Amino acid sequence: MARVKFLCDADRCIECNACVTACKNEHEVPWGINRRRVVTINDGKPGERSVSMACMHCTDAPCAAVCPVSCFYTTADAVVLHSKDLCIGCGYCFYACPFGAPQYPKVGNFGSRGKMDKCTYCAGGPEEDFSTIEYEKYGRNRLAEGKLPLCAEMCSTKSLLAGDGEMIATIYKERVMKRGYGSGAWGWKTAYKETVAI
């Protein structure tokens, strides 16, 4: 099995937000929830870069570690998923996540956040593959269809890469060698305790 990862080549990202839109549309994500977002660093200054960020599907995921009801699990492809049936909406994963991935459908006064929602790497959830209930709770299961996450597949500049970690790291390395610069594999050190050595 592959160890799948996301890699955003920030030197290619043009902040078009197509990944954000694709994600929202593919999974019919409700208002207020953004499983993916694009953050622009040093906006308007020299060296400005935009980074598309979602759940990084960490090795030794902090969300899974702190969850009081142990609702997270890691698939054979190393995708971090969770069960909305078990989730009690306590917000602990949101405190622990370095990437701000966990989202809640409600504002959360009186602790009523609702069930946590986050990027599933287009891999659905614990329900049966392709079932209506899986789609309603977690969104499309593209991985089970043999496809990669839609955000990366439709990235117009191929800035956002998804797939086997080693393979996308190689692609990124080749790009950096060829063009002579790269702002780094954003989030890798935090999520995977390693970075792409060039």
Residue numbers at the binding site for another protein (CB under 8 A): 10-11, 15, 17, 20, 32, 34, 37-43, 46-51, 53, 62, 65-71, 85-92, 94-100, 107-112, 180-187, 189-190, 195
How many angstroms from the chain centroid is the CA of residue 57?
A: 7
If the CB atoms of residues 143 and 168 are measured against another protein, the closer one turns out to be 168
Minimal distance, residue 160 CB to another protein, in Å: 14
The least CB distance from residue 22 to another protein, in Å, is 15
C-beta of 56: minimal distance to another protein in Å? 10
CB of 24 to another protein, least distance (A): 10
CA distances in angstroms from 193 to 39, 169, 198, listed in the order given: 22, 14, 16
Q: Of the two residues 7 and 143, which places its CB atom closer to another protein in the complex?
A: 7
Minimal CA–CA distance to 178: which of 168, 170, 188, 186?
170
**What gap in Å lies between CA 115 and CA 102, rounded to an integer?**
10
Compare residues 13 and 143 and give the one whose CB is closer to another protein: 13
> Given the DSSP bridges, would you call strands 4-8 and 160-164 parallel, antiparallel or unpaired?
antiparallel
How would you classify residue 125: left for phi > 0, otherwise alpha for psi between -120 and 50, otherwise beta?
A: beta
Closer residue to another protein (CB): 48 or 136: 48
Residues 183, 43: Cα–Cα separation, whole Å: 15
